[in-house]
Structure 1
Amino acid sequence: MWFIIGLITGALLSGLVWLMKRDNCSLTWYEWLLGIIGLALVIFTIQNFFGSLDELESKAASIFLLVVGLPGLILLAVSWQLAVRRIKKA
């Protein structure tokens, strides 16, 4: 399962870099930082969610989704919005 998640993540990041080069746009360092931290939190959440479910701790899995997964998604959304607004302004 983790091999497939790694392949999907790598393909998505390669696609992002390819699209950025094709459209001649770039991200600032803080947009990259927010995106990487958000992605790491989301992957960490997925791993712990399935680990908690395997141990039959469904309440812990749900709380982990809320406590760690939601901030990860928010960081990804903020990174995306910063990039979109900066590109539209230029």
Structure 2
Amino acid sequence: MWLIISFVLGALALALIMWLRTSHVSLTWYEWVLGIIGLALLLFTILFFTDALGETEPKAGTMFLLVLGLPAVILLALTWQLTVRRIKKA
């Protein structure tokens, strides 16, 4: 599973960099930091959730989705909105 996730992440990173170069958009340092932290939290949440379900602990997995999955999604959405608003402003 992690091999497939790493291929998908690599393809998405390549697509993001290509899109940034072709559209002449540059991200600020804090947008990069927020995005990387959000992505790391999301990957950690997926890892723990699948492990908790594999050990037949669904309550622990769903609580972890709430505790770290929700902040991960919020950070990724915040990164997206900061970027979109800065592009529209320019």
Q: TM-score range by the shorter chain?
A: over 0.9
Superposition deviation, residue 44 in structure 1: 0.4
Which residue in the other structure is 1:67 paired with?
67
| Distance (whole Å) between structure 1 residues aligned to residue 27 and residue 8 of structure 2 | 21
Pair 1:10 & 2:10 matched: yes
Q: List, as ranges, runs of 4+ consecutive aligned residues in structure 1 with deviation greater than 6 Å.
A: none
Which residue in the other structure is 1:51 paired with?
51
Q: For residues 20-72 of structure 1, what are the alpha-carbon distances to aligned partners after superposition, in whole Å with 9 as ceiling and x for unaligned? A: 00000110000000000000000000000000000000000000000000000
**Sequence identity percentage:** 59
Q: Count residues in correspondence.
A: 90
Q: For residues 62-85 of structure 1, what are the alpha-carbon distances to aligned partners after superposition, in whole Å with 9 as ceiling and x for unaligned? A: 000000000000000000000000
| Distance (whole Å) between structure 1 residues aligned to residue 69 and residue 6 of structure 2 | 18
| Distance (whole Å) between structure 1 residues aligned to residue 13 and residue 75 of structure 2 | 16
Which residue in the other structure is 1:29 paired with?
29
User: Which structure 2 residue ranges, 5 or more long, are not aligned?
Assistant: none
Q: Which residue identity does 1:55 align to in structure 2?
A: E
The residue matched to 1:25 in structure 2 has which SS? coil
Give TM-score, length-normalised by structure 1: 0.99
| Distance (whole Å) between structure 1 residues aligned to residue 50 and residue 61 of structure 2 | 7
User: Which structure 1 residue ranges, 5 or more long, are not aligned?
Assistant: none
| Distance (whole Å) between structure 2 residues aligned to residue 25 and residue 50 of structure 1 | 36
Q: Which residue identity does 1:35 align to in structure 2?
A: G
Give TM-score, length-normalised by structure 2: 0.99
